[in-house]
Amino acid sequence: MKLHIGGKETKEGWKILNIQKSDNVDYVGDITDLSQFDSESIDEIYASHVLEHVGRFKVSSTLDGIYRVLKKKGKFYVSVPDMDTLSHAFISPLASAENKFRIMRMMFGGQVDDYDFHYFGWNFEFLRDFLKKAGFVDFKRVDSFGLFNDTSDYKLYGFSVSLNLIVTK
């Protein structure tokens, strides 16, 4: 099984886990609680712009849960807003007030509903260290996963706003 956490877009071979029920959602749930899935039952997990919605004190247990459900050699595709890039763009004297507002929402969440808040700011070092602590190996940074049409590919001023990693159990 391949699991798309936080997804809405259907794709053959992928099941969707989302906190909100909708037509295409296969499982209703939260990235912080994957107890509805057996250990080592999932081949690949895709989570684009979901992990930043997890509070700092739940990050380790959340990543432990992802590690638990992945099969040996399973892949975790994770994308988060890149705080290094966003911070640089925010302080740029070239950024308009309108663009700074958009950047701020990328940092802290769009805040369009009760779930769209960011509780953690990620950069490569933070993400790598938390993933290592959970047991993940083989960190590969990529510009694009090429799997779903989502914010993992979004560019601002020609720079990707996302930190995209493929890691292996």
pLDDT digits (tens, 9 = 90+) for 60-97: 999 999 999 999 999 999 999 999 999 999 999 988 99
**Nearest alpha-carbon partner for 147 in 11, 6, 51, 55:** 11
Q: Answer for the pair 4, 13: CB distance below 8 angstroms, yes or no.
A: no
Query: What does the pLDDT read at residue 24?
Result: 93
Q: Answer for the pair 60, 162: CB distance below 8 angstroms, yes or no.
A: no
Query: What does the pLDDT read at residue 158?
Result: 80
Q: What is the pTM of this model?
A: 0.93
CATH (one of 1.10.1060.10, 3.40.800.10, 3.40.50.150, 3.20.20.20) for 2-168: 3.40.50.150
Query: What does the pLDDT read at residue 120?
Result: 87
Query: What does the pLDDT read at residue 53?
Result: 93
CA distance linking residue 7 with residue 141, whole number of Å: 21
